[in-house]
């Protein structure tokens, strides 16, 4: 029996996840078609053709081991350059408001929605933070009455946040 691949979802978060998941040149080549289709789905024909040609030249002209980070940052710049992107506004909020973070997700989300116009929904904020590379943890606390309360905590040190922003070109 042949298993077919699930159709690729051409979203900004999936684009970012795919770029951040690339560890070597072979994975970059394997993802090339996805990146080209993403750009075609988002931009006009001239821009997408220009992207495809530039991406091909970049792959042909770069050192296979040393320049993978450069190519990843170049790819991320494509989605980062859309300053009207709500995901980018989320990331800028995070960068401007937190030098480090260790707060419940609900607190972070409430701070975010009270600080920006037209905020993303909770689910999309969570997925966007994951795509950025920010991890959450579940913490449980026992109350005096013996019940447990679970909280999702967004946590990253200053160094971790700095590295996350650097590798995402933000």
Question: What is the length of the chain?
Answer: 170
Task: Tell me the per-residue pLDDT of 60-115, one tens digit each, with 9 for 90 and over.
Answer: 887 665 588 889 999 999 888 865 688 999 999 999 999 999 999 999 999 999 99
Distance between CA 105 and CA 52 in Å, rounded? 38
Looking at residue 135, what DSSP letter applies?
-
- Tell me if the pTM is above 0.95: no
- pLDDT score recorded for residue 65: 53
Is residue 55 within 8 A of residue 95, CB to CB? The reply is: no
At 68, is the secondary structure helix, strand, or coil?
A: helix
Q: Which two tokens stand for residue 122?
A: 């909770």
More confident call, 128 vs 43: 128
Could you tell me the CA-to-CA distances from 19 to 5, 16, 49, 69 in Å, in that order? Answer: 19, 5, 20, 10
The burial class, CB within 10 Å (0-12 / 13-18 / 19+), for 19 is: buried
- pLDDT score recorded for residue 58: 85
Q: Given a cut of 50, is residue 141 above it in pLDDT?
A: yes
Average confidence score pLDDT of the chain: 87
Mean pLDDT value across residues 52-66: 78
- pLDDT score recorded for residue 40: 87
In order of start, what are the domains of the chain with their CATH numbers? 12-80 (no CATH), 86-167 (1.10.10)
Distance between CA 73 and CA 77 in Å, rounded? 6
Could you tell me the CA-to-CA distances from 161 to 34, 57, 110, 153, 154 in Å, in that order? Answer: 28, 32, 20, 15, 11
């Amino acid at each position: 029996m042949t298993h077919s691949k699930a159709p690729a979802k051409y979203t900004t978060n999936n684009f970012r996840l795919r770029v951040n998941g690339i560890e070597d040149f072979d994975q970059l080549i394997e993802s090339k078609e996805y990146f080209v289709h993403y750009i075609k789905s988002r931009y006009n024909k001239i821009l997408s053709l220009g992207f495809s040609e530039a991406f091909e030249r970049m792959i042909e002209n770069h050192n296979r081991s040393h320049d993978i980070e450069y190519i990843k940052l170049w790819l991320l710049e494509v989605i980062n350059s859309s300053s009207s992107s709500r995901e980018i506004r989320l990331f800028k909020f995070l960068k401007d408001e937190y030098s480090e973070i260790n707060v419940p997700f609900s607190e972070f989300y409430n701070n975010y929605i009270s600080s920006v116009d037209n905020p993303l929904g909770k689910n999309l904020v969570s997925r966007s933070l994951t795509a950025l590379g920010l991890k959450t943890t579940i913490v449980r606390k026992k109350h005096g009455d013996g019940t447990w309360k679970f909280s999702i905590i967004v946590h990253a040190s200053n160094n971790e946040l700095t590295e996350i922003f650097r590798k995402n070109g933000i």
